[in-house]
Amino acid sequence: MSYIDGFVVAVPAANKEAYRVHAQAALKLFLEFGATRCVECWGDDVPDGKITDFRGAVKALEDEVVLFSWIEWPDKATRDAGHKQMMEDPRMEQIGEMPFDGKRMIYGGFSPLVDISR
């Protein structure tokens, strides 16, 4: 079964296009290094929760939008090798700085438990 990297970040609304350009460049490398699918989702219905929520998880400021993203890999071994290649690839430097505060990004690797498609 596949392996999933999941991400939640807060991006200043004014940086939407810069984020799109940055993500597109980085995600091309992830695909080159073995990812099978990369998805970036700009939040447009991210409600405040009563106890916790996406905005709180990344300490989103009023002028920031929450993004939910994932990268699909064939398996964890391919993901681990792909991450290593990304960190060693000089093209990562050419992509430039992230257009958001990376210290507030939450992320993790996940093994699918249920996968249903139509």
Q: Look up the pTM and report it.
A: 0.92
Q: What strands lie across the sheet with 37-42, from one edge to the other?
A: 37-42, 64-73, 3-12, 106-110
Query: Does the pLDDT value for residue 96 go beyond 90?
Result: no
DSSP β-bridge partners for residue 10: 66
Contacts of 101 (CB under 8 A, 6+ apart): 10
Structural tokens at position 86:
């990304």
Instruction: Give which of 89, 1, 80, 91 is closest to 34, Cα–Cα.
Output: 80
Contacts of 42 (CB under 8 A, 6+ apart): 16, 65, 67
pLDDT digits (tens, 9 = 90+) for 26-77: 999 999 999 999 999 999 999 999 999 999 999 999 999 999 999 999 999 9
Torsion angles phi and psi, residue 49, rounded to 5? -95, 170
Contacts of 59 (CB under 8 A, 6+ apart): 10, 104
Which residue intervals of 42-114 are DSSP H helices?
54-57, 76-88, 91-95
